[in-house]
Amino acid sequence: MAKGELSMNLATLRNGWSFAQMVEGCLKHGVTAIAPWRDQVESVGLDEAARIIKGNGIRVTGLCRGGMFPAETAEGRQTANDDNLRAIDEAAALGADCLVLVVGGLPGESKDIAGARQMVTDGIAAMLPHAQASGVPLAIEPLHPMYAADRACVNTIDQALDIAGQLGEGVGVAIDVYHVWWDPNLAAAIARAGREKRIMAHHICDWLVPTNDMLLDRGMMGDGVIDLKAIRAMIEAAGYHGPQEVEIFSRDNWWKRPGDDVVRTCVERFATVC
């Protein structure tokens, strides 16, 4: 695969680089697509981030993140909605392919996961008209079940597709291998996502054995147990041929390395492993 098919999720470069340095580092190694996080955009300012992106001809494969819908009170849910409307505006300003949604877990002391999932559906429905008017697709990212309580009560592609199907156009899925590789229904779920034309993003990294931190110990492609080529084949068979976006949270390894080494390794592994 050509380098142009690789996108760098800027979470992978949380090593002290500025926004401009991250873009420069990617371009140095032939990476012309990125997916920034909102705090990274905020650090430089939305207008300046958009100037850097557009001035360098960078593709933005996604903006991370919106979501976090469930809350104990109506006021809390409205606060989440207000923030999500701002996220849509930011994604539009950056020309992002989609706004990635990490939907949130159980609110407060609740044990009602079905209720939390309904709050997710209601929350996306509330923001959808503004997203459609702004031309920003919403990509639900199902997270591994270990995050169901605190980060995402939507844990499989099928669950995300069920929600998208209720809501209609402009809602799809971001398929992150770290979160879905274990699913015994993965092949059928990806095929379904293709039939329904809901695949909006494909995120890659690897699952390490052992994993020392459930959030911040993702692996570089090829260092773990995920069959990246097999999953990519499923995704392409489903009709998605867009970029593969490297998203590695690695507090004790890759975040401690020079950014230039990280980008170089991502490009090398992409060519040999993915």
At 121, which amino acid appears? Answer: T
- Can you give the pTM of this predicted structure? 0.97
The total number of structural domains in the chain stands at 1
Measured CA distances, 199 to 56, 122, 179 (Å): 27, 21, 15
Identify the DSSP state of 106: -
Q: What is the CATH number of the domain that holds 80?
A: 3.20.20.150
How would you write the pLDDT of the chain (274 residues) with one tens digit per residue? 344 499 999 999 999 999 999 999 999 999 999 999 999 999 999 999 999 999 999 999 999 999 999 999 999 999 999 999 999 999 999 999 999 999 999 999 999 999 999 999 999 999 999 999 999 999 999 999 999 999 999 999 999 999 999 999 999 999 999 999 999 999 999 999 999 999 999 999 999 999 999 999 999 999 999 999 999 999 999 999 999 999 999 999 999 999 999 999 999 999 999 9
- Range of 104's domain? 3-272
**How buried is 65 (Cβ within 10 angstroms: 0-12 exposed, 13-18 middle, 19+ buried)?**
buried
Q: Are 145 and 155 in contact (CB under 8 A)?
A: yes
Q: Are 272 and 223 spatial neighbours (Cβ–Cβ below 8 Å)? A: no
